[in-house]
């Protein structure tokens, strides 16, 4: 696996692969890789002949009081994981490579509607930063397909909308959330948790699972389910940022007759913000009769 830092080197390597008739897969990351990232690269390697990954901690998607400065940088360990997963090329640019004229004058990509609410409400400008950097990376790599994790459910919806609306020739693939044995969704930010907090963190998945099971059993009083779940989170020491049941495609508040919903949440455990979701397909045949 080669590592390049400039757009020129990146494009030359991708051009060689494409000249050999290879299908290009792409996995953008911010580094500090874990098994969830490895699953993305593995899927890309299964679907493409030449896999490019990127590591770039994008300042454009961090708010003023967020953890940009403390975000873990673990390049050497990340390179080993990427190589083992079947990555062919790592693009690891600096901020000056991605934003050569500075971020203040950078053209921005905004995806309305899907970027609003949920994490978009709690992190103003976050999804604009995500859409901007992903669109730049797509133009740099020009992949045939790209793989994103379903843990960041709203982000995946935003990227799919951006690709559709801008007619980008990239197939977007989602990869199911990878979890620890106790159910906690893997995240680079899990490393911020101390031992006591780490023992409590799986309660988020347990609460989401409880709502999902109630919905599968026919419960459609969403407000009651959310209220009881919020109380359980608070009792465990998890402070909800949001906990909602949304339509899985539109991300609008779910209705009783919806078949395809997502139970989606963000919580604070100490100063660490955790996100998770469960995508649930429901049988509403009885409701429609």
Q: Model confidence over 109-127: pLDDT tens digits?
A: 999 999 999 999 999 999 9
The whole-number pLDDT of residue 30 equals: 96
- The rounded percent of the chain whose pLDDT value lies above 90 is 94
Query: Which residue from 170, 113, 112, 117 is spatially nearest to 140, judged by alpha carbons?
Result: 170
Count Cβ atoms below 10 Å from residue 46 Cβ, excluding itself. Answer: 12
Which SS3 state, helix, strand or coil, does residue 264 take?
Answer: strand
Which SS3 state, helix, strand or coil, does residue 62 take?
Answer: coil
The whole-number pLDDT of residue 289 equals: 39
For the segment 67-96, the average pLDDT, to the nearest whole number, is: 95
Model confidence at 67, in pLDDT bands (50, 70, 90)?
confident
The whole-number pLDDT of residue 286 equals: 52
Q: What is the pTM of this model?
A: 0.95
Query: Which residue from 97, 88, 90 is spatially nearest to 33, judged by alpha carbons?
Result: 90
Question: Token pair for residue 127?
Answer: 């999804």
For the segment 196-220, the average pLDDT, to the nearest whole number, is: 97
The whole-number pLDDT of residue 216 equals: 96
3-state secondary structure labels for all residues of 82-119: HHHHCCCEEECCCHHHHCCCCCCCCCCCCCCCCCCCCH
The whole-number pLDDT of residue 42 equals: 98
The whole-number pLDDT of residue 206 equals: 98
The whole-number pLDDT of residue 285 equals: 63
Would you mind telling me the total number of residues written for the chain in this entry? 289
Q: Model confidence over 234-256: pLDDT tens digits?
A: 999 999 999 999 999 999 999 99
Q: Model confidence over 169-206: pLDDT tens digits?
A: 999 999 999 999 999 999 999 999 999 999 999 999 99
- CA 69, 153, 178, 220 torsion-angle sign: positive
The whole-number pLDDT of residue 59 equals: 96
Q: In whole angstroms, give the CA distance from residue 72 to residue 202.
A: 22
Residues with catalytic roles: 37
Query: Which residue from 280, 278, 282 is spatially nearest to 259, judged by alpha carbons?
Result: 282
Q: Which residue blocks in 95-179 are alpha helix, DSSP H?
A: 95-98, 119-122, 126-141, 153-165
Q: In whole angstroms, give the CA distance from residue 226 to residue 120.
A: 20
Query: Which residue from 257, 249, 245, 262 is spatially nearest to 285, judged by alpha carbons?
Result: 257
The whole-number pLDDT of residue 288 equals: 44
Question: What is the pLDDT of the chain when averaged over all its residues?
Answer: 96
The whole-number pLDDT of residue 283 equals: 87
Residue 77, pLDDT > 50, answer yes
The whole-number pLDDT of residue 35 equals: 97
Distances (CA, A) of 211 to 153, 223, 230, 243: 17, 11, 11, 11
């Amino acid at each position: 696996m080669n590592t390049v830092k400039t757009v020129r080197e990146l494009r030359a390597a991708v051009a060689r692969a494409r000249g050999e008739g290879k299908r290009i897969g792409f996995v953008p990351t911010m580094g500090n890789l874990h098994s969830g990232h490895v699953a993305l690269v593995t899927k890309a390697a299964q679907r493409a002949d030449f896999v490019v990954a990127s590591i770039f901690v994008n300042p454009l998607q961090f708010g003023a009081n967020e953890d940009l400065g403390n975000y873990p940088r673990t390049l050497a360990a990340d390179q080993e994981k990427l190589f083992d997963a079947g990555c062919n090329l790592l693009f690891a640019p600096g901020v000056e490579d991605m934003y050569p004229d500075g971020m203040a004058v950078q053209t921005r990509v905004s995806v309305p509607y899907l970027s609003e609410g949920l994490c978009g409400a709690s992190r103003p400008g976050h999804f604009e930063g995500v859409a901007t950097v992903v669109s730049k990376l797509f133009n740099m790599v020009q992949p045939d397909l790209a793989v994103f994790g379903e843990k960041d459910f709203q982000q995946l919806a935003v990227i799919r909308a951006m690709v559709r609306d801008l007619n980008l020739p990239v197939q977007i693939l989602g990869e199911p959330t990878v979890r620890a044995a106790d159910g906690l969704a893997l995240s680079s930010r899990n490393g911020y948790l101390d031992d006591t907090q780490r023992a409590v963190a799986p309660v988020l998945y347990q609460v989401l699972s409880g709502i999902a099971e109630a919905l599968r059993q026919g419960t459609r009083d969403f407000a009651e389910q959310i209220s009881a779940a919020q109380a359980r989170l608070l009792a465990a020491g998890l402070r909800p940022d949001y906990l909602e049941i949304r339509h899985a495609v539109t991300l609008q508040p779910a209705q009783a007759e919806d078949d395809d919903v997502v139970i989606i949440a963000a919580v604070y455990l100490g100063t660490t913000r955790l996100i998770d979701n469960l995508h649930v397909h429901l049988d509403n045949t009885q409701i429609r009769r």
